[in-house]
């Protein structure tokens, strides 16, 4: 049973950390949108690129990392799918 507790503790910690990163990316970038928009790339404000491409790429990176890390945790605790 302690092994099961360790698995869920690690899973919750990973989820909370990545959720915190998601919140940071989502709301901090929005908070500083006016400052970010002062930077112009190819005639468009940087905020445009951050919303259109950058944030989505970061979200995908978070999902990729979560999937990779959970697979490692599952293997380590012997509950991986075959």
- pLDDT value of residue 9: 95
- List C-alpha distances in Å: 61 to 8, 39, 54, 64: 23, 24, 11, 5
Q: What is the Cα–Cα distance from 22 to 19, expressed in whole angstroms?
A: 5
| pLDDT at residue 35 in the model | 86
Structure confidence at residue 28 (pLDDT): 83
Domain boundaries, the chain: 2-76
Per-residue confidence band for 2, with pLDDT thresholds at 50, 70 and 90: low
- The residues, ordered by sequence, that sit 6+ positions from 1 with a Cβ below 8 Å of its Cβ are none
pLDDT digits (tens, 9 = 90+) for 26-82: 888 778 888 888 888 888 888 777 777 888 899 999 999 999 999 999 999 888 765
How many whole angstroms separate alpha carbon 71 and alpha carbon 78? 10
CA 38/CA 45 separation, integer angstroms = 6
Residue 82, pLDDT score = 54
- Tell me, what's the pLDDT at 32? 82
């Amino acid at each position: 049973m302690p092994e099961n507790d360790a698995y869920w503790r690690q899973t919750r910690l990973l989820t909370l950390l990545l959720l915190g990163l998601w919140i940071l990316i989502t709301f901090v970038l929005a908070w500083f949108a006016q400052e970010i928009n002062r930077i112009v790339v190819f005639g468009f404000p940087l905020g445009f690129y951050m919303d259109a491409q950058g944030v989505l790429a970061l979200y995908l990176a978070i999902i990729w990392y979560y999937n990779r890390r959970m697979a490692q945790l599952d293997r380590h605790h012997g509950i991986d799918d075959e």
